[in-house]
Structure formats: C-alpha cells, structure tokens
Amino acid sequence: MARFEASLARASARCGLLAQSDADIISQACARASFDSTALARDAREAGTLAIAFVKALTAQVAAVSPEAARYVHFGATSQDAIDSAVALCLRAAGHRVLELAREVGDALAQLARQHRSTPMLARTLLQPAAPVPFGWKAAMWLAPLSRSLPHLRAALAEACVLQFGGASGTLSAFGERADALSLALAEELGLERRVTWHSARDGFARFGAEAALITGVVAKIARDITLLMQAEVGELAEPAALGRGGSSSMPHKRNPALSMLALEAAHRVPGLAANLLNQLDPEHERGLGQWQSQWLTLRELAAASASALAAMREVLGGLHVNAAAMRSNLERSNGLVYSEALALRTSRALAERLCAQALREERHLLEVVRGDAEAARLLSGAQLTKLFDPERSYGGAEQMIERVLSDWQRARESAL
C-alpha cells in the first residue's frame, strides 16, 4: 500500500495535480514509513478496512515533515484502490514464484521421461496389475497436464495482477478530464497493466484461484502415485533421503513420504480456497460488502499452498530414487499374467482366458502354460512367444507419446517465461 501511495503521488505530480516537491515528500515518507501492526489491525477492525487505518498512520508521518504535503496523501483515491492494487503487487510476486516452481517441476519430470523411456514397470488400473509400460511414459503422463496448466496459470496471473484505480465510486470523479492520464501514469509507476475499474468485478482473482488449485491438484496426482510406489511391499520409488525427514516419533525404522504429504495436504486445502473466490463474484452494486474484503486472506493462503506443493514435488522429483530392479521384479511376480492382453490379441480372448485361469489354478508362469498348450502352439511360434512376453514389446506408442509430451512441455515452458 505504501508503494501505491508513493506512486499515486508521483503520478499526480506528473499530471500537474500537485507540486513535485509535495510528491517527493510523500514518496520519501512511504519509502521509510514504519507501522505498529497491532495498532493498525485494531484500528482496521474498527474502520472496516485496513486502508483507512494505514492512510491515517501514513498521513501523520508525512505531516510530521510537511503539513502541506500531507493534504495530498491518498488524494482522490479510495480504500479499495489502495488495497486491491497492493494485493495485485503481492500476488504478482507470489505468482511468479509459483510459475518458477512449476517450471522446475516440469523440467524434473521431463528429465525422468528421457532417462527412463525404456525402463519397464507395471501399470496399475483400479489399483490392480495391468500391463507393462515404461516408467518414462508414466513420468510423461505426469508432465502432460502440467504442460497444459502452466500457460493457463500464467495468463490468469496476468489478468489478476492489474491496477485498481476508480476513486470513490469507480469513475475517478475527483480528477475530471485528467482521470485517464493519471490512471495511465499510475499504472506505469507501479508496473501494472491498466484496466477499467474492477471494484465489483472479481473474476480475475477467481480465475487465478481456479488455475492455482488446478495446478496444485496436478502435482498432488504425482505425489499420490509416488506414495503408492514407495510402499515397502512395492518399493519401486523413494523420495530423496535427508536427515530427520520422514521419521516417526515412535518407530525408528519409518521412512515416511514427508514431501509428498506436503503436496497432498495442500491439494486438500486449495479447492475450498478457490471456491471462496468463486463465491465472491456477486458484490452489491459498485462496491460489495464482505466479498472483496475476504479475498486478501484467501489469495495469500492459496498462493502459499500452491507454492508449498510445487516446492515439495520439485525436491522429490529432483532426487527421486528409481528402483528399476524392483519394477522388473514386480512385473515378474505376476507370473506372466500381465501379458494376457497381448496373448488375447494374437490368439483369441477365449483361449487367453482359459490359459490365464490354468496358470492361476496351477500357480505356474503363463508362458510355461502357453508353451504346453496344443491350441496355442498351432497359433504361436517359439520366437513369437518370446516377443510376446518381452515387456518392451508391450510399449505400443509410448515412445511417440513421450516425445509429444516433451515437445508440448518445451512450448509451454517457453510461453510461461
């Protein structure tokens, strides 16, 4: 808010609305101003807005230097101008940090996709074994929604972080014919895009909230998968180890997925925060009662939660331990049943179901059962069988999908710089 008031004074001087000397005094006072936060909070509660208490305290500090300059503190502006513009400045800084973290998460995923494009693992559908896939493909499937989300988040941030300047009722009535020039000068001083008054149009913040919640959910999906693959009986992935991380107060052997937990807990909070912003789209007339006043706290919590989730996953993915041997072992533990789709496609569904049932009943490897079946022998040669039970022969279009996602990510990354 001090930046807003200093910029307003400088912009007003540029437009001939006050002397440059008075603008300099206000600007200097804003730069060195200090406040009793407890007193401000108490006064803000009485006044109904922090801006009134803030402007009163700031005016007193300017008056101590120049009573004449103090007359022009906050001149022609309204409380919502100061607060909304201040929120836009704060959110811009926080949002850029969120974007930076999202890019780092995406880069780590892209590296995993490249590095493990041929590492076989077991896909799971409905939490049950499905078919072999490369781990690099799984990492690419984590990356794909992030590639789609990043440009939307950047655009929403740009739409949310704009100048609010409308004066008492929204028309800048105090400035007459110089209103347009002043709003342009103020936008330039603050480095914010200029828009028409949005006192009662809260769609920008709501849109940012929705996109921030969405990207937090995207990384929470990654965290959920990692926690499942990190279970001791699976053992395919592990978060990077660090002294004191993931321990238990009662069980010394524990290595809990503490970082993934941070992403998951944040993802449980952000939908409600985003819903708060969506629920604040109906202010009364030109300035609402109770809607925009609650957005400052909501946006702060939302940005912090998104950043927390992204920062946690950046650290996880940057040091993720991939146990390729465990991945292959879990594939083999299925006794070849994960190749049942390939078998059915090359013979018949009825035959594949009969052979799978036999393998389960006799607790034998499906390949062994197939080799001993006369009907299957007529349909498949030995070489064909070997290929059929090779995990890398089951990848289908995974390689092409990985490349497409990596290409999409590069474009999304560049667009969000």
Active site residues: 248, 287
Phi, psi angle pair for 197, to nearest 5°? -50, 130
182-187 contacts: CB < 8 A, separation 24 or more?
Answer: 182/11, 182/12, 182/15, 182/17, 185/10, 185/11, 185/14, 185/15, 186/7, 186/8, 186/11, 187/163
Secondary structure percentages of the chain, helix, strand, coil, to 5: 70, 5, 25
Residue count of the chain, please give it: 417
Q: 248 to each of 181, 252, 321, how far by Cα in Å?
A: 62, 6, 21
Longest dimension (CA), the chain: 103
Distance CA 12, CA 22 (A): 10
**Residue written as tokens 């946690």?**
312
> For 172, which DSSP code?
-
The total of other beta-carbon atoms located within 10 Å of residue 278's CB is 15
Which two tokens mark 260?
């993934």
Strands annotated E in 218-282? 237-238
Distance CA 122, CA 132 (A): 5
The three state secondary structure string of 275-321 is HHHHCCCCCCCCCCCCCHHHHHHHHHHHHHHHHHHHHHHHHHHHCCE
Cα distance between the two ends of the chain: 27
Q: 222 to each of 124, 145, 217, 233, 263, how far by Cα in Å?
A: 14, 11, 9, 19, 9
